[in-house]
Structure 1
Amino acid sequence: MIISRYLSRELLLTQCAVSAVLLVIIMSGRFIKYLAQAAQGLLDPGVLFSLMLYRMPGFLQLILPLGLFLGILLSFGRLYLDSEITVLRATGMSQQRLFGYSLIPATLVALLVAWLSLWLSPQGIAAMELLLNQQEALTEFDTLVPGRFQSMRDGSRVTYVEELSDDRSQLSRVFITEKRAAGAGKEDRGITVLVANSGRQEIQPDGGRYLILQDGYRYDGKPGQADYRVIRYDTYGVLLPKPAASGEISEREAIPTRQLIDSDVQKYKSELQWRLSIPVLVFVVTLLAVPLSKVNPRQGRFLKLLPAVLLYMAYLALLVAARGALDKGNIPTALGLWWVHGLFLLIGLCLLYWESICLKWAQFRAGRRGVRHA
């Protein structure tokens, strides 16, 4: 019992450290992407942290199995280097028994991953989808930030306001530049520049929104040429486009698991198997990691880290490929993703019992040689 608690503590501490580092890396990359969209006016800066919070369960359900895999490799590798496993094996500790002790923390991780995959992650995706839909209903006027040039319409339009009232109803010192679209086979029509001392938003009965500029100028022409047209106006209306924020989420990811169980749609069946596969992944990678963590003290504990990570990546890539084939109906639903788990389960069992297999084979060869000599 003392050994079990010691091994579980070492494994879980290492897994938490690795998972925290991986989570920070992934969350930082996604936050930078959302921050860039907010800088372009595609997202309200006030919803960035909400988006990250809703996405966190989806990140964790994939990070925790990898964190457990690396945690076993690093923690048990250190025990091999410090000869602690050698001492334990002298008292009767086999790799199979070491795997049994590893199943205790692995079961806790699998339960947490199952909760994230089957319940919390779909809820987070649904909340994120709702938030993004609300962002798509915003216009350029709603996402303006005073004192900043904001790119809209894939960079074809740039807007700048120097001051914006607290209720976002009045603007002052407005600058808008927009490329004039050219038809197929026609030359570039140049750009349009609008400047105004003030502006306000106006909503039409049909729901269209316009930015009403007052006391300004319009410049039409091509950069580098002197044939500009200048128009002075007292009032000028500009249609406000709706910025589209990219959430990179599919609709089925937000569907509750109970609804997936009752569905006969092929893609929904594939999504259900994917959610069930992630907790199964935890037990299989535990089986793979325990024999791969065995290292020679002279070689260092990082020798097997690279091939082990490549094996994990092959496992995950094959799962993703099988999921895509299952979506298209190229794989029977009964077979689904389970053949991938079965394949790597077999690989894990071979690695775990490799010493026993080699020993029995050597005994078999020795027995055959003895028969021949007799």
Structure 2
Amino acid sequence: MIIFRYLTREVLLTLSAVTAVLLVIIMSGRFIKYLAQAAQGALDPSVLLLIMGYRIPGFLQLILPLGLFLGILLAYGRLYLESEMSVLTATGMSQQKLMGYTLWPAAFIAVLVAVLSLYVTPRGVQQVEGLLEAQKSLTEFDTLQAGRFQSMKNGERVTYTSSLSEERIELGGVFISERRASAGSERGPSVLVAERGRQEIQADGSRYLILENGYRYDGHPGRADYRVIQYDQYGVLLPKPGVAQELSEREALPSLALRESTNPREQAELQWRIAMPVLVMVVALLAVPLAKVNPRQGRYLKLLPAILLYMTYLGLLIAMRGWMEKGKVPMEVGLWAIHALFAGIGLLLLYWEPLRLKWMRLPEVRHA
């Protein structure tokens, strides 16, 4: 029991450290992406933390299997390097017994991943979809910030205001620049400047920015078609910012709804959710024999091949999921064939050395 607690603690501590690092890396990349959308006015900055919070379960269900895999490799690799595993082997610790000890923390992680994959992540995706849907109803006026140039339509439209009232009704010192193209040729930018502006909502729900006391500049300066128009009032239709959708609708469906569906894409989504906890147990089966290293070789000798093996496993799962969605692979085969293949590889690695020694054992010579 003492050895079991020691091994479990080593694996879980390393797993926690690896998972924390990977989670920070992935969340940083996604947060930068959402932050860029907020800077362009496509997202309200106040919802960024909520979106990231709801996305954490989805990140964890993908990170935890890799974290467990690396945790076993690093923790047991250190034990082999410092000859602690040699001492345990001398006291009767076999690879099969070590695997039995390892499967207990792996089962705990598998249950956690199953809860995340089957229940928590779909609910989080539903909340994210609700937040993004609410952002679609916002206009450029709702996301405008005083004293900052705001880019819209992939940089085709730039808006600036020097002052903005607390009610977001009155603007001062307005500048709007928009690039236009007609019949495949560049017509030149259109620039609007005004002393002040206000928002008007029409009966059909469309919103206009009414500019007062300003100028409009059309075309390229120096050309014959360049125009300068002075106006007392000028109305500008406020476009709605486009929010990039990175989540599919089926990711937000409850697992029970996917189970009753006959749609191949939704059935593939259900198998993918079930595959995550199964992945945890299979990578534990792979990691234990791969963690065995010679102290003279160093703990990182097998790390790169092991990571390549894991990437191959995950890549085949993703490819098989795509084939299932397209109907190229029967649902009965599905992702189970990939799990069975790599589980077989794990068993082969686990029992390879005893089998090799058995095959190489010389026959006994009997003397008359």
TM-score by length of 2: 0.97
**What SS does the corresponding residue of 2:141 show, helix, strand or coil?**
coil
C-alpha separation in 2, matches of 1:125 and 1:362: 55
Find the counterpart in structure 1 of residue 257 from structure 2. 259
Q: Return the offset for 1:246.
A: 1.1
Per-residue deviation at 1:361? Answer: 1.6
| Distance of 1:168 and 1:97 partners within structure 2 | 68
Match of 2:188 in 1: 190
How many Å separate the matches in 2 of 1:266 and 1:223?
57
Deviation at 1:227, TM superposition (A): 4.8
Q: Secondary structure at the match of 2:216?
A: strand
Residue 16 (structure 2) pairs with residue 16 (structure 1): yes
Query: In the alignment, which residue of structure 2 is the partner of 1:290?
Result: 288
Specify the SS of the correspondent of 2:331.
coil
Query: CA–CA distance in 1 between the matches of 2:224 and 2:302?
Result: 68
Q: CA shift at 1:6, angstroms?
A: 0.5
Contact 1:172 1:198 in 2 (8 A): yes
2:211 pairs, out of 213, 227, 230, with 213
Pairing of 1:1-374 with structure 2 (within 5 A): 1-184=1-184, 187-223=185-221, 225=223, 227-363=225-361, 366-367=362-363
- Per-residue deviation, residues 270-297 of structure 1 (Å, max 9, x unmatched): 0000000000000000000000001111
Distance 2:365 2:56 in 1: 63
CA distance in 2, matches of 1:179, 1:61: 44
Q: How many Å separate the matches in 2 of 1:226 and 1:75?
A: 75
Shift of 1:226: 6.6
Deviations 1:340-362 (A, max 9, x none): 00000000000000111101221
The one-letter code sitting in structure 2 at the alignment partner of 1:124 is G
| Aligned CA-pair RMSD | 1.6
1:319-338 Cα offsets, whole Å, 9 max, x none, are: 00000000011001111110
**1:246 partner amino acid:** A
Q: Quick check: 1:114–1:276 contact (8 Å CA) kept in 2?
A: yes
Q: Tell me the SS of whatever aligns to 1:93.
A: coil
Identity of aligned residues (%): 65
Deviation at 1:224, TM superposition (A): 5.7
Letter of the 1:322 counterpart: M
CA distance in 2, matches of 1:227, 1:334: 67
How far residue 137 of structure 1 moved from its aligned partner, in angstroms, is: 1.2
Q: After the TM superposition, list the runs of 4 or more consecutive aligned residues in structure 1 that deviate by more than 6 angstroms.
A: none
Output the amino acid matched with 1:59.
F
Any idea what the Cα deviations from partners look like across 1:125-158, whole Å, max 9, x if unmatched? 0100110011111111111111111111121111
Cα drift, residue 179 of structure 1: 1.0
**In the alignment, residue 81 of structure 1 is paired with which amino acid?**
L
Give the secondary structure class of the aligned counterpart of 1:72: helix
Q: How far off its partner does 1:223 sit?
A: 4.7
Tell me by how many angstroms 1:180 deviates: 1.8
* 1:161/1:171 contact within 8 Å kept: yes
Gapped runs of 5+ residues in structure 2? none
- CA deviation string 1:204-242 (max 9, x = no partner): 111111111111111111156475311111111001111
* Amino acid corresponding to residue 82 of structure 2 in structure 1: D
State how far apart, in whole Å, the 2-side matches of 1:92 and 1:35 are.
Answer: 55
What is the one-letter code of the residue matched to 1:156?
Answer: E
Q: What TM-score, normalized to structure 1?
A: 0.96
Take 1:207 and 1:282, find their aligned partners in 2: how far apart are those partners? 51
CA distance in 2, matches of 1:340, 1:183: 52
Deviations 1:25-48 (A, max 9, x none): 000011011111111111111111
Structure 1 pair 99/223, CA: closer, same or farther in 2 (3 Å)?
Answer: farther
The answer as to whether partners of 1:190 and 1:223 remain within 8 angstroms in 2 is no
